[in-house]
Structure 1
């Protein structure tokens, strides 16, 4: 108001425009009365003095809400400022004409009255008579140089020189304060702190609108905050208990939104209805696809009328255009109107088609230089993509659901949204027949992806799409590993394993590559290596399969890096994959290849080089915002730093990974907790180490995620040994040995069984007063003999091995130890495990 003669407060209904204008007017009146019209410049720049001088002749507030005829606007203002006799609101055109005949033109009378004064005129609720209000204001500002106008409206007046001040919804802390104040008035003793989560949900879902929050607070006389929050899906029936002293349209939430709806024309209502099918807002292209190509002008009008919120892209969110969204209250109202219109099916179909195409055409960009932009696009539109999937499922449109799911499958993998992927896949799988039903039917080779073209799909492509969704579901195995271990599930996995043949093109790229998990889960590790070898060969022979070649090389490197004698081959594969990914501009693949190379270097004992690879991989992952991937890499870095002698930094990184954990599936936690447990045990902090293992088991139980039990059992057994509980350690190590005999566990950690035998030897040497020391030496000999060729032991392995030998030599003496140790070298791992 200090810099403009016309200020318009705009915002949605219930935002508090009227209250703010009244507070401003009263504050100016109080300040003016205290100012006395002389001196008193408290800001040093004349601003306060100048503003108060502009209201020296007073403030007049004009309520335009009751004016139902635009022609009555000037007369209402005349009455409010006291420029002539009062005319009753609602007198109609006849009354207005009669008043004009008695007192002359009201605009002239206003101009004459205000022209000699310096005053503030507040015009409240202009939206339903906005044209008439705008004409009057423009005339008065031209003819009355000392007049300042403060207007409130749900849309701008559009007068030259108008300064718009949006009255936006309250931010959460202020909204909660309002709820606390009004709630305590409605129910003495009410405190937001008693249920902060429900109170925050109420304020958030009511968009921070003061009117809606006050109506909700009134309900606290009979409902708890949680009951109110749980009923906000039916907010228009819930929020109906407003003050009897306010205008009727402010006594219920529906009446307030009805007021705005009644001011719209048919085209605006049609667009607003259709916009309600979006979730999380939309850009202009999406709005045109769902609402029609001529939506631009209508959108602008709805933005002006505070029914659509237009926002520029957030910093770092990508995108180059405005986004449009409805406040939740407006969206619910418009959705009801959409149902009434009978247009929902068409609007949802247009929404589904648009977002299916967005996902389908964005998916290939996840594998190249536009990867970051593609991720940003899918993240911005993710709520709409979920909504499109729900539309497809509700319509039981299997082909649309298949196309959408497969288009998102790689994004889910990159973002580690495995629980989300698992749940969507399960729902889509239920729409069609089981493509892996017995009897086993080998499938033909297909060179097309199922998302190369939108629905309708050919029968052959449709069948492969169904298989792809089933494989994508299986790829989330680590979120429900127990379910895959039942006899029924194992039988199904064997059917899946028999469907494809090594080298088929569709299993060279996701989701076909996930087929390898079936082989892994049934322990067919020999076949698995052959499958990956054949996939690499197919990719080398197929033009345009560069990304697929890098993907399979990187996968093979991960498998090979589990054994020291294969680490050289793993290194070569990782290097080649890294070169391809870098050439293609795939940062996610680059990080994965660096990780594979680091693991191979770890296995060769090149820990400093491994640490450098992990650090570079972390930089790529962080650049992409791949937080889950970065956390896993950080855990691996922390573990390898313990090997290089940077113990303090390594421990700090591991603890940071653990402390940053969120909720749900946390792939970095197993490694971080296990690495930290080993280090804590080595440094005598066994109580802290046991806390880590207890937390590990509890987290896996809560998140339905199962790590290979052999890792945890081995760590628990080692802590028992360190604490001197040798008898208890033997029982734990027996369980660990049974688990480590699993083909999958052996493939992931070929040296694990030898490590458990070494731990068993340490415990055996200490029980029964040393009477089992001979068996301990034999176990130690068997453990050393069963290690993969060229195995490079890590720091903890070396410490366990040294302790086992010292204990056993002390109990037996050197000659007896050497004899028993040699005997153990001729035992199989199974025979040595039997000794334990």
Structure 2
């Protein structure tokens, strides 16, 4: 064990691993297990301390050899048994960091700090504090691991939107709030994720689609940043007491850190999302926000970038690639006219085109075009792993409809008399009066 520790100290992690494996192989269980009063015996204490150190050194050798993923689970299990063992907890935090889970590493440090404070009344030692400082260092470059942990890997190619992507990538330093707007299924989230990859710094994604109540938006974003918010039972507040700032914890966490925060799917909590964005932008100078919503947030300084339908040429590329994935050998050239009709009648909407491509397992592109008059029953073959509102075309439209207020629904019903678009004068002619629906 001593030789292994020495090899580790001089950077020979491979030799250290061999020696430490040999040392640990000599361990036969608790020292002097049958000796009365063994827990107080100095020899027992010394031997078990040496064994624990050898185990820590073996984990450290694996980390030095780039094997963090393989030791993370046993490290986490051992650390759970010994929550106050600072060297062991430091190894666990390093393993989380080295596997691209920087947010979880910060959360693990906070757990250790809290345990030490509550049970021993002390702060973490110099080694743990230095590791925490490394995690927080603003000048630490964001590596591939960080992005893997923060942004989900995309499983399909990104087609089109080159101009929009270039515009976003070229001006991160000049714009602190950019909102991508557009109808459901137009590709706002995908464009936001691709644009976030071009940001030179830490990126965090806060997915708000599952948030049901505006009051929990702040907690959802805190979780996305790796900071856990604990809800404690409290007595009812004193009536005259000033209300607590709902974003105080979030602002404190972000502080002077530099990051890009992606707020995805803000439309159903747009008011709270706007307040959150304004709080961060005005009080945390290093934070940039990229939001996706079906309407602007309405925050001063916001740059709104509408995301429109795909041009026919790009839509055909999308149909061709996704169609070939559904039916090997498919090409739009086999019936170009029908393929163009599908793209045109689906208004160049990426999600609708992908749903149509999925139907190519059973139908030809011509048969799909013939059945688009009943598109809500036809386009129901979305991926099972996406949000429910993205699995069918009807679900996309229903989500939008549910977000509308009564007068907005009246306007939409009246506009449905037009077969395909209308000008302002025509819209005023059917919607301007204040009569009922």
TM-score bracket relative to the smaller structure: 0.5 to 0.7
1:257 to 376, 389, 397: 397
Looking at structure 2, the residues matched to 236 and 250 of structure 1 have their Cα atoms a distance apart, in angstroms, of: 13
2:196 to 22, 25, 46: 25
Which position in structure 1 is the counterpart of 2:179?
8
Which position in structure 1 is the counterpart of 2:206?
62
Task: Name the SS of the counterpart of 2:205 in structure 1.
Answer: strand
Deviation at 1:107, TM superposition (A): 1.0
| Larger helix percent | 1
Looking at structure 2, the residues matched to 142 and 25 of structure 1 have their Cα atoms a distance apart, in angstroms, of: 21
Looking at structure 1, the residues matched to 431 and 395 of structure 2 have their Cα atoms a distance apart, in angstroms, of: 26
Confirm or deny that 1:164 pairs with 2:308: no
2:339 to 199, 208, 212: 199
**Structure of greater Rg:** 1
Which position in structure 2 is the counterpart of 1:239?
379
Which position in structure 1 is the counterpart of 2:225?
81
Looking at structure 2, the residues matched to 238 and 144 of structure 1 have their Cα atoms a distance apart, in angstroms, of: 48
Matches within 5 A, 1:23-172: 23-28=194-199, 52=200, 55=201, 58-85=202-229, 107-172=247-312
Confirm or deny that 1:214 pairs with 2:385: no
Q: Which runs of 5+ in 2 are unaligned?
A: 1-171, 238-243
Deviation at 1:280, TM superposition (A): 4.2
Looking at structure 2, the residues matched to 64 and 272 of structure 1 have their Cα atoms a distance apart, in angstroms, of: 26
Looking at structure 1, the residues matched to 383 and 211 of structure 2 have their Cα atoms a distance apart, in angstroms, of: 21
Q: Show CA shifts across 1:33-65 (max 9, x none).
A: xxxxxxxxxxxxxxxxxxx3xx3xx11000000
Q: 1:97 to 1:128 in 2, by over 3 A?
A: farther
Deviation at 1:281, TM superposition (A): 2.8
CA contact (8 A) 1:107 1:136 kept: yes
Deviation at 1:290, TM superposition (A): 1.3
2:433 to 287, 293, 299: 293
Looking at structure 2, the residues matched to 97 and 255 of structure 1 have their Cα atoms a distance apart, in angstroms, of: 38
Deviation at 1:217, TM superposition (A): 0.3
Matches within 5 A, 1:304-323: none
Looking at structure 2, the residues matched to 175 and 188 of structure 1 have their Cα atoms a distance apart, in angstroms, of: 19
Task: Name the SS of the counterpart of 1:193 in structure 2.
Answer: helix
CA contact (8 A) 1:288 1:294 kept: no
Q: Show CA shifts across 1:795-832 (max 9, x none).
A: xxxxxxxxxxxxxxxxxxxxxxxxxxxxxxxxxxxxxx
RMSD: 2.2
Looking at structure 2, the residues matched to 2 and 199 of structure 1 have their Cα atoms a distance apart, in angstroms, of: 41
Task: Name the SS of the counterpart of 2:178 in structure 1.
Answer: strand
Which position in structure 2 is the counterpart of 1:174?
314
Deviation at 1:254, TM superposition (A): 0.3
2:369 to 221, 226, 229: 229
Which position in structure 2 is the counterpart of 1:273?
413
CA contact (8 A) 1:176 1:192 kept: yes
Q: Show CA shifts across 1:760-809 (max 9, x none).
A: xxxxxxxxxxxxxxxxxxxxxxxxxxxxxxxxxxxxxxxxxxxxxxxxxx
Q: 1:97 to 1:186 in 2, by over 3 A?
A: farther
CA contact (8 A) 1:75 1:96 kept: no
Higher normalized contact order (CA 8 Å, seq sep 6+, divided by chain length): 2
Deviation at 1:108, TM superposition (A): 1.0
Q: TM-score, normalised by structure 1?
A: 0.30
Deviation at 1:13, TM superposition (A): 0.3
Looking at structure 2, the residues matched to 59 and 187 of structure 1 have their Cα atoms a distance apart, in angstroms, of: 36
Looking at structure 2, the residues matched to 176 and 96 of structure 1 have their Cα atoms a distance apart, in angstroms, of: 54
Q: Show CA shifts across 1:656-679 (max 9, x none).
A: xxxxxxxxxxxxxxxxxxxxxxxx
Q: Report how many aligned residue pairs link the two structures.
A: 259
Matches within 5 A, 1:341-352: none
Deviation at 1:116, TM superposition (A): 1.5
Deviation at 1:97, TM superposition (A): 7.5
Deviation at 1:278, TM superposition (A): 1.6
Moved over 4 A (4+): 95-98
Matches within 5 A, 1:641-790: none
Q: TM-score, normalised by structure 2?
A: 0.57
Q: 1:213 to 1:107 in 2, by over 3 A?
A: same
Looking at structure 1, the residues matched to 395 and 297 of structure 2 have their Cα atoms a distance apart, in angstroms, of: 23
Matches within 5 A, 1:778-817: none
Looking at structure 2, the residues matched to 172 and 15 of structure 1 have their Cα atoms a distance apart, in angstroms, of: 14
Task: Name the SS of the counterpart of 1:27 in structure 2.
Answer: coil
Deviation at 1:202, TM superposition (A): 0.5
Q: 1:96 to 1:3 in 2, by over 3 A?
A: farther
